[in-house]
Structure 1
Amino acid sequence: MFFKNVEENIEMSATQKDGHSTEPLLPSTPVQRTFDYVLVATKVDDDTDQKAQRQRAFIQQLEMKNVSVTEIIHDDKVFFGIRAPREMFEDYQYLLKVSDSCNWCGDVRGTVTQATRIRIVSFILHQTYINTGENLEELLKKDVFETMFCLHERKEQKQLKQKWARWSALFTGQPVNDVKCYFGEKVALYYLWLGWYTKLLVPAAILGVVVFLYGLAFFNTNLLIHEVCNSNITMCPRCDKRCKVWQLSETCTYAKVSHLFDNEGTVAFAMFMAIWATLFLELWKRHRARHVSQWKVYDWCEEEEELILEIVNDPNCKPKQFRHSYLRSTMVLILVTLMLMLIIGLAHALVVFRVVAAPLMSEGKWEFITDHANTVAVMLGAVLHYFTIQIMTRVNRWVSIKLCELEKTNSFAATERSFTVKMFTFQFFTLFSSLFYVAFFLGRINGHPGNYVRIAGWRLEECHPSGCLTDLFIQMAVIMLLKQTLNNIFEFTVPWLKSCFSRNTAKKLQRKCGYCYRKTCRDEQGQVEPCDICKLRDWLRNYHLADTDAFSLFNEFLEMVVQFSFTTIFVAAFPLAPLLALINNIFEIRLDAIKMVRLERRLVPRKTNDIGVWTKVLEVIGVLAVIANGLVIGVSSDFIPRLVYRYRYGPCVNGSTQTNCMQGYINDTLSMAFVTHPAVRSDFSEGMMVTDTGFSVTQCSYRDYRSDEDYALTSQFWLVLAVRFAFVILFEHVVVVCKFVAAWFVPNNPIRVKNDRLHDKLARLKEELSEIKRGLSTDV
């Protein structure tokens, strides 16, 4: 029954339908004639329906441009196969040849590839308007057409599956040139960049593991850990009401974890990663230059490319004028500021959650949660932060799109750049606002006994006596693991399930047409032309794949650049971040490849010679990495207080060599609070000053440098603060100088690329001169 309906549809499609011919307009070619695009619409029986009229109007506009349209009806769907005429691509090649910057591009010479055809036809489809002023994008939004997609090429797709898009090729190189020929330069440069980033993560991951092992090597012999674990110091209550005093030794495990990520090796590693980020970018520019020179797109200009496509689409077109409006720019700036304030407000809400959750959990029934209320609150806050990120990602995208529409940029490329900057800015604040609070504000604005800072009556959370770096580590570890793991699972699972459905549907079309020869038919001239059943089989196979759009590649870039931010900005608090990024990226490359080649519709191939505005974003991240790591070591870490104690207040100051220079450090960082003091009495009731053994105390310790009498800051606090800021300034200046030296030392373009371009230009000039002489001799 199914094939009977298909054969009836074939007979109908060979005649006039709705006033337009469905016969191909392309001249015969010796190769199989493929379709450049497929439009899908819901079948409408009523010819007077507005959707049907708009469908016909759009198809007629395409036919006026000599575009061939083949229509096949299947069930309740109508498939329109789009094939552009050969003359259109000849015009494109000629205009490309006479342009200022692309006269030696790869598309000038040889046959036009299918990737180039798809790119040109995609532009034409989006720039075709019906008499109501609506283009294809608006028609898709109004359900006039259901979807549109370009077709996978079976032979090339199979080759990519064998070489690249399979898990068994996990540790093999990438066929970047084949990816470029199939998906275009933009996708190829993404995988080239991702592969280069992954390769350079290897030394960073190794050094991060060395720093971690360094902390692990002195795990059992570290004096500071022993001072915490063996102390009998009574600490002040962490919260109001039911919280009681506690023993410092209860946080022995916390102190051990802190030492793993807060040791002397962290400083050297942070400096290395800041310089590594610069070297990575400079070496990437050289790596990119070699490939884009080989692909003949080094001098490619996106502005001229769009002008050429405009002329190919409409010879009478007019250029879109550049425009700027101070009113629009001011509105965009105000709206961006309001959005950032909202995101920062959400970060404050997470702070309030932790402030409220810690004391509530300390009053719970479960002993484990009660004993580790602060740690559990931090972890819950990190998980809640992850879900906030997932929600805000969708909100950020919608806002960024609306802001770009408000700007009214000149071209698609300009819109893409503007959207990228806005989306990344929103995502950066969404991801890092909470981390910045933990790194630089946690435990520093909570006050002291007698003068605690409160939010709605709840005390702000305090730093652990071993430092706040572990809180930052927990926050980063939870977000990185959840974000990378869960995102990859969802990215792969959804297209895979849809692919399974596609395979089940395709089984209905296994029978071949009786006139097929090796899955193709021959027309009257004996040339290869697939029959409608074969066309439909191929179209349905692509139709049931997961959809792709302009955001598909952007999402991959955004995910990796955010990971790059985690790997560099707060690496001082999490030396294992490069290792996690390396492991993730090894699988990410194959995951994205399998998804693009096997599970998703074909991406529209885009031409480019760089990763665009992402290079600037990575440079900004490199600068932020220097600032943030300097502040983490100087402000968040205990590296500076330990240094000051060793050389200014420790037992070795007087020349003693019999004791460890850090002996007594933990006790030195604590101040004493007395319940009998009038200022403290209001904060600590008698019930709070009873230990778990039932022993009442009249004094307790808290982390700060304050006088025991009037609770004023001591001279040691000011000395430590001065050294902290001095270290931050020195660290940042040294690293910035090293970054500039590294950027100067590594040229952006290899000598080989410069010489190749020189020879190409010389060959082109000679060829132009030869053509002119041939033309003159012919005239004579």
Structure 2
Amino acid sequence: MQKRSGAEMSFADQTQFTPLVVCELAEDTKEEAVEWLLSRIKEKQRNGGAEFQVSRLLPALSQDDKKENPNIFLVGASWQRLLIGAEDLGLIKEFSDGSMRTFTYANREDFKDFQGDGDGFLSMAECQLIIKHELDTLRAKQETYVPGYPKIKLYPGKSIVRRMHSKGILLQIFPLHDKEELKRLSSTWYQQIRMAFQPLDDIRRYFGESLALYFGFLEYFTLAMLPMAIIGIPYYFFDWENYDNYVVFAICNLIWTTVMLEMWKRFGACLAYSWGTLSRKKAFEEPRPGFHGVLGHNPVTGREEPVYPNAKRHLRIYLVSLPFVLLCLYVSLCVMMVYFDAEGWVLGLHDVEPTFWTGLLLFLPSIVYAVVIEIMNRLYRYAAEFLTDWENHRLESTYQNHLTLKVLVFNFLNCFASLFYIAFVMQDMPLLRQSLATLLITSQILNQFLEAFLPFWLQKRRNKRVQRNESQTALGSKLPFEKQVMLEADMSTYLGTFDDYLELFLLFGYVSLFSCVYPIAALLVVLNNVTEIYSDALKICQVFKRPFSEPAANIGVWQLAFESMSIIAVVTNCALIGMSPQVKSYFPESESQLILLVVAVEHVFLVLKFILAFVIPDIPKHIQIKLARVEFESMEALKKKKMLEAPATPIKGQ
């Protein structure tokens, strides 16, 4: 791979290297800023550059005779540069002895599957992640501002790319699809309906560990739901009107929620170890692109970067964000009470003059309320994102934690408050079953419309657009590769797995909290998840831009969210057991004794849950041994190195 001198390479010369990443600048970007950024990308590493190869995508006339953006660039790198970047990034690969070790360029030939110059050793997703990481860590040296933009200041040691992106000069950076590899993955993943597990290793190799772990968890969650679905089917059909016999099902719920989550930890750890992310040390986290403040020094690295007072951030959180969240929760409760008033009015109308139409009208308040819940959840999500941005968190992980907490609290109350009210205030089991069924089915229909039918429609529109472009004359048509780049640039950006995990969290709540009064809920969730696998795969492959690979060892904060829901499920199911007429019949005259017994049983179940979580190791024993062996060998190698480097001590008397 030869790198040509000069500010840029023409598109015709793109065959000199393999384009991996697309970098799009604003159409009106000043030329001096373009030349400066390209020179920094192509500069040698020892001089503070990224040492990548860059090619400009030649603009062409679009369908309506308008020129495309001329500031679209293709970025690639030599294999040697990518291997050095793999070491800088701390990628873990399989060693020749079968263990997983941090990759080092000096010992590259000792790693399994490394042949020749390393071609094929790294997946395309890993190569693209390396390029993104190196571009993000391109730092300003002596420059005080972006050339051509005196008002856009550059702080020494800060990321150039992130600064230009936050100021709107850099529009987007995204990885390119490999059309052949994507076609192979699609054929084994979602294009054919088959009774088989998902190709998680292929998904991980193409999209990275974070997405592969999501699909792995979705598959595991679906399979783990099958026992509850199988138990619930005969329970539902042969015990429809008897609400007294849900005690056994509630106990099954308690056991299932704990075992399911604990076994997922082990399964997830096995996946993460085989992918090399379980023991990967996280590098020092860079500030978010949107983080702002006065210029100061980082106390850890000593580098200059924006500094924002924690006290000011806490004031924003506790004096603005927290009151706003509480106000939203209050509005949600008011909407719930309006729903109950409408429910009471419809019931009264049906009792006075029962007809076929009033019977149908009984379902209307629940359906409308379910739709309102979905609308409120989505509106609140935008408000939560705005508030979390305004709080100005320095790290992306902190930002995600605060956003997740805001969204989960509101969604939990908005989706489950009415069910708790019906169960423990009204104590109306038939109404609880009806409300749970309506909320669950309506939310699934809305989600499937937004996540299955809408993406399919978008894909159809994109296919028609491709066919129109291919019908152009040979003289005016775009080159196939150029066409691919432009089409991918116009696709929507994938915003991550947040909404997907949130949907699974709510479904898990419906099943674990109240499915004892609606046993078929688990079956509905299983059917929904099967469809979800195919619709999500279609979205990620055909509708959105290819996302950058994200190394991940687990599902992050969502593990804590699911475990918190399982604890709430213990309390809820024990309370439902105590309300069962079967249990109440044993305490006909002493309600206080019944309450004390329920509380005692609840504490026993909680203790057993925590004991079970402690007894079942999060990481299987054989993986713990492998990790310990690698750590021991690393310590021994470090000792030998220090002994060899230490000067010889003269023997006394010689």
Q: TM class, shorter-chain normalised?
A: 0.7 to 0.9
Counterpart of 1:387 in 2: which secondary structure? helix
Matched residues in 1 for 2:439 and 2:133: separation? 39
Matched residues in 2 for 1:55 and 1:272: separation? 67
Contact 2:87 2:104 (C-alpha < 8 Å) held by counterparts: no
Query: Which position in structure 2 is the counterpart of 1:204?
Result: 228
Deviation string, structure 1 residues 118-146 (Cα, Å, up to 9, x no partner) = 33444566788944449878988998777
Query: Which position in structure 1 is the counterpart of 2:329?
Result: 340
Matched residues in 2 for 1:532 and 1:348: separation? 59
Query: Which position in structure 1 is the counterpart of 2:484?
Result: 538
1:754 and 1:579, CA in 2 relative to 1: closer, same or farther beyond 3 A? same
Answer yes or no: is 1:299 the counterpart of 2:296: no
Query: Which position in structure 1 is the counterpart of 2:8?
Result: 21
Matched residues in 2 for 1:618 and 1:422: separation? 15
Residue 744 of structure 1 deviates from its aligned partner by 2.8
Deviation string, structure 1 residues 223-250 (Cα, Å, up to 9, x no partner) = xxxxxxxxxxxxxxxxxxxxxxxxxxxx
Structure 1, unaligned runs of 5 or more: 1-13, 44-51, 216-256, 444-467, 516-530, 649-715
Residue 334 of structure 1 deviates from its aligned partner by 2.7
Residue 511 of structure 1 deviates from its aligned partner by 8.4
1:511 and 1:427, CA in 2 relative to 1: closer, same or farther beyond 3 A? same
Contact 2:90 2:280 (C-alpha < 8 Å) held by counterparts: no
Residue 26 of structure 1 deviates from its aligned partner by 11
Match of 1:328 among 301, 316, 338: 316
Residue 191 of structure 1 deviates from its aligned partner by 1.1
Answer yes or no: is 1:95 the counterpart of 2:88: yes
Matched residues in 1 for 2:252 and 2:34: separation? 58
Counterpart of 1:82 in 2: which secondary structure? strand
Q: Following superposition of structure 1 onto structure 2, how do residues 186-335 of structure 1 map, counting pairs within 5 Å?
A: 186-213=210-237, 215=239, 257-259=240-242, 262-264=243-245, 266-304=246-284, 306=286, 318=304, 324-325=310-311, 326-331=314-319, 332-335=321-324
Answer yes or no: is 1:746 the counterpart of 2:616: yes
Residue 556 of structure 1 deviates from its aligned partner by 1.1
Contact 1:568 1:622 (C-alpha < 8 Å) held by counterparts: yes
Q: Following superposition of structure 1 onto structure 2, how do residues 630-645 of structure 1 map, counting pairs within 5 Å?
A: 630-635=574-579, 637-641=580-584, 643-644=585-586
1:119 and 1:350, CA in 2 relative to 1: closer, same or farther beyond 3 A? farther
Answer yes or no: is 1:469 the counterpart of 2:429: yes
1:323 and 1:742, CA in 2 relative to 1: closer, same or farther beyond 3 A? farther
Answer yes or no: is 1:442 the counterpart of 2:439: no
1:761 and 1:146, CA in 2 relative to 1: closer, same or farther beyond 3 A? closer
Contact 1:55 1:145 (C-alpha < 8 Å) held by counterparts: no
Counterpart of 2:497 in 1: which secondary structure? helix
Matched residues in 2 for 1:177 and 1:485: separation? 31
Query: Which position in structure 2 is the counterpart of 1:167?
Result: 192
Letter in 2 for 1:754: Q
Identity %: 21
Residue 270 of structure 1 deviates from its aligned partner by 1.0
Letter in 2 for 1:61: L
Contact 1:37 1:151 (C-alpha < 8 Å) held by counterparts: yes
Letter in 2 for 1:588: E
Matched residues in 2 for 1:97 and 1:769: separation? 22
Q: Which stretch shifts more, 291-300 or 737-746?
A: 737-746
Contact 1:484 1:584 (C-alpha < 8 Å) held by counterparts: yes
Query: Which position in structure 1 is the counterpart of 2:183?
Result: 158
Q: CA RMSD in A?
A: 4.0
Query: Which position in structure 1 is the counterpart of 2:156?
Result: none
Counterpart of 1:300 in 2: which secondary structure? coil
Answer yes or no: is 1:426 the counterpart of 2:419: no
Deviation string, structure 1 residues 71-125 (Cα, Å, up to 9, x no partner) = 33232321613305558745533434599xxx93469756543313333444566
1:502 and 1:40, CA in 2 relative to 1: closer, same or farther beyond 3 A? farther
Letter in 2 for 1:506: V
1:772 and 1:614, CA in 2 relative to 1: closer, same or farther beyond 3 A? same
Letter in 2 for 1:739: K
Counterpart of 1:39 in 2: which secondary structure? strand
Query: Which position in structure 1 is the counterpart of 2:449?
Result: 489
Matched residues in 2 for 1:300 and 1:729: separation? 43
Residue 537 of structure 1 deviates from its aligned partner by 2.0
Q: How many pairs does the alignment contain?
A: 578
Letter in 2 for 1:73: P
Residue 27 of structure 1 deviates from its aligned partner by 11
Matched residues in 2 for 1:439 and 1:151: separation? 51
Q: Following superposition of structure 1 onto structure 2, how do residues 559-708 of structure 1 map, counting pairs within 5 Å?
A: 559-635=503-579, 637-641=580-584, 643-644=585-586
Counterpart of 1:601 in 2: which secondary structure? coil
1:540 and 1:200, CA in 2 relative to 1: closer, same or farther beyond 3 A? same
Q: Following superposition of structure 1 onto structure 2, how do residues 141-156 of structure 1 map, counting pairs within 5 Å?
A: 149-156=174-181
Match of 1:115 among 104, 125, 134: 125
Counterpart of 1:73 in 2: which secondary structure? coil
Residue 395 of structure 1 deviates from its aligned partner by 1.7
Contact 1:513 1:534 (C-alpha < 8 Å) held by counterparts: no
Residue 267 of structure 1 deviates from its aligned partner by 1.0
Contact 1:35 1:81 (C-alpha < 8 Å) held by counterparts: no
Residue 606 of structure 1 deviates from its aligned partner by 0.8
Counterpart of 1:168 in 2: which secondary structure? coil
Of structures 1 and 2, the larger Rg is shown by 1
Matched residues in 2 for 1:337 and 1:752: separation? 47
Match of 2:203 among 167, 179, 186: 179
Q: Which stretch shifts more, 178-187 or 147-156?
A: 147-156
Matched residues in 2 for 1:27 and 1:761: separation? 43
Letter in 2 for 1:733: H
Residue 282 of structure 1 deviates from its aligned partner by 1.0
Deviation string, structure 1 residues 597-618 (Cα, Å, up to 9, x no partner) = 2333212211111100001101
Deviation string, structure 1 residues 556-584 (Cα, Å, up to 9, x no partner) = 11111111111101122211111211222
Match of 2:493 among 548, 567, 570: 548
Matched residues in 2 for 1:421 and 1:54: separation? 42
Matched residues in 2 for 1:762 and 1:322: separation? 41
1:501 and 1:136, CA in 2 relative to 1: closer, same or farther beyond 3 A? farther
Matched residues in 1 for 2:441 and 2:413: separation? 19
Query: Which position in structure 2 is the counterpart of 1:78?
Result: 69
